[in-house]
């Protein structure tokens, strides 16, 4: 009971688990930025703001105490049926070879204008990963050097991993040349 009271007086939510060292380092650097604790399984994670993505990711890569030098994956989540205020989230999975540590960054992206800044200038390996998210979800990566479809035909009119994509398809299979 005393521990909960101490946490409340320090301004920490007693329901939120203790923040990890990566999250603490990020909050020390981005004092005014909105960085919330995420819920990835098996690694620390944060939810970052859309408008500060590039400096945030550059910090994760360049800070010597973090050194997230490898972008493992870029993917997206469509939260259409979850009654969330923001429909999409782009999720970055990072790894630090120096510290043998994984980290996840989730960035909410609004449905009305599904755009996010590209991180290809931070991690060149993001090139094809961002193209896949663009192709499957329709999220546009501003500043991407070659943003075009990578899996579906150029004239394909939809994004198959969106939750509102029809389960039976739209007859596209008939248009594919096998």
Confidence of residue 177 (pLDDT cuts 50, 70, 90): low
Domains of the chain: 18-162 (3.30.460.80)
More confident residue, 117 or 11: 117
Please choose, from the candidates 142, 144, 114, the residue with its C-alpha nearest in 3D space to the C-alpha of residue 127.
Answer: 144
The pLDDT tens digits for 35-75 are 667 666 668 888 898 988 999 999 999 999 999 999 999 99
The pLDDT tens digits for 132-172 are 999 999 999 999 999 999 999 888 888 989 888 776 655 65
Inter-residue contact 104 to 75 (CB < 8 Å): no
Separation CA 129–CA 86 (nearest Å): 22
Q: Does pLDDT of 9 surpass 80?
A: no
Q: Which helix (H) or strand (E) holds 44?
A: strand 44-47
pLDDT of the residue at 11: 39
């Amino acid at each position: 009971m005393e521990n909960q009271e101490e946490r409340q007086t320090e301004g920490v939510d007693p329901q939120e688990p203790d923040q990890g060292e990566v999250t603490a380092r990020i909050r020390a650097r981005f004092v005014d930025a909105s960085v919330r604790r995420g819920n990835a399984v098996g690694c620390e994670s944060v939810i970052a703001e859309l408008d500060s993505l590039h400096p945030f990711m550059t910090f994760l890569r360049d800070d010597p105490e973090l050194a997230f030098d490898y972008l493992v994956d870029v993917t997206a989540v469509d939260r259409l049926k979850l009654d969330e205020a923001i429909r999409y989230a782009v999720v970055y999975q990072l790894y630090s070879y120096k510290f043998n540590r994984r980290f996840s960054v989730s960035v909410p992206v609004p449905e009305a204008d599904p755009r996010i800044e590209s991180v290809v200038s931070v991690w060149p390996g993001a090139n094809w990963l961002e193209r896949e998210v663009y192709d499957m979800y329709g999220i546009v990566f501003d500043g991407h050097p070659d943003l075009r479809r990578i899996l579906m035909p150029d004239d394909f009119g939809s994004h198959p991993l969106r939750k509102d994509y029809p389960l039976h398809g739209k007859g596209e299979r008939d248009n594919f040349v096998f």
